A and B are shown apart, each in its own frame.
Chain A
């Protein structure tokens, strides 16, 4: 069973639909017992970093999520990916879950913000599982980006700077774009994630 963490920030239904379409059983929950039973933990999210961490704390989920990330396949999507990192500057300075070292800052680009639309993935890491997604377009909607060590960056997308698009550290994965809105490519990426971290 896959569990989507419900902390009141956004796109849980469309993320659930995407996993359903792939034939998986999915629950949306903030119940620690349910979360502990799950094989995979999905942390979705739309909105601001600061508001999201406040909602997580309001539900006493911070320590539980950090514990879960030690033992389970853990997957952050969009804002959920940003929350995996140490700190964010959206709203006021806010500490994240700090599961991967890194900072979330406003994108500095000559182009329009938000970075909205289909952008092509550049695979940054010698990674067999994700290498098939080189130059594939996926759907982004965001104004803040993750800055982290190259060791953790699986893929980027060019938008002035290279935007961190897929990250991984051990059993923890994060993707900045919306796989649930990225057509067939998005579905394949979800499948790769489910297979990779189940190994």
Chain B
């Protein structure tokens, strides 16, 4: 059977990997290509780059990073952040990205999902959803989790599936950076609403948080950043924890 995926996420700003806590307070960590290669060798099932560059130069640098990564990394990798147009999607795929993540732009222009998936296939279009809990359910947040779009996250997940998204990268704005585990209620709500793979993100502080989300929900993959970058835990430790609890993972 198909293995649950463990995915390290590299936040890249102006060509350097940085770490985010609740989407603010960034500090430099290193070279994205070197880190991606190290993670793939350490057993990462996939790599995600999130480009949080504020400048055009930064985004241009990202294309070069993608090209270099494609030459050195032999597991699938996704690039997201700042993808606004079909031209952005095309450039990243041509540079060698396996999948492209679309976030705020999908909310403002849902047709971008349709166009991108019909042109390149659903398998390479990931829609990132940042969700935050309100009294009436979860809302889709944009602009790095700061702006309320007033869209219902569950309905939006169904909408992006209908438009051809191949996967959903689901980040809980509430648990992100808190390190107490994934947002199980949100993850379950989204996974149960769609028939495409969902990647859970936000809240990992311990290897057991992965096995927890895999046991409590039918999510396909878990993503984390800081616990891996700070060498708090390795990917091998996360996989060991999953294995001990009977979660089907890839041993590499």
Contact = CB atoms under 8 A, between A and B. Distances in A.
Interface of A: 13-14, 17-18, 21, 46-47, 111-120, 137, 139-141, 158-159, 178, 180-187
Interface residues of B, number: 26
Nearest to B5: A117
Contacts of A184: 74, 252
A182 to B, nearest CB: 7
Contact of A120 (B3, B122, B166, B196): B3
Nearest to B1: A158
Given A14-B96, A114-B122, A116-B123, A181 B76 contact: yes
Contacts of A117: 2-3, 5, 45, 197, 220-221
B2 A119 contact: yes
Contacts, number: 72
Nearest to B94: A13
A21 B220 CA distance: 30
A18 B1 CA distance: 26
Interface in B14-39: none
Contacts of B167: 116
Given A14-B98, A116-B123, 6 more contacts: A114-B123, A139-B76, A181-B75, A182-B74, A185-B252, A186-B74
B1 A120 contact: yes
B195 interface: yes
Contacts of B122: 114
Contact of B75 (A21, A111, A141, A183): A183
A79 to B, nearest CB: 10
A137 B250 contact: yes
Nearest to A140: B2
B40 interface: yes
Interface centre among B1, B2, B167 (most CB of A within 10 A): B2
Task: Give the top 7 A-B pairs by smallest Cβ distance, nearest first.
Answer: A137-B250, A118-B250, A118-B3, A117-B2, A141-B123, A119-B2, A181-B76
B40 A183 contact: yes
Contacts of A46: 121, 123
A119 B1 CA distance: 6
Given A14-B96, A118-B45, A111 B2 contact: yes
A113 B2 CA distance: 12
Nearest to A20: B71
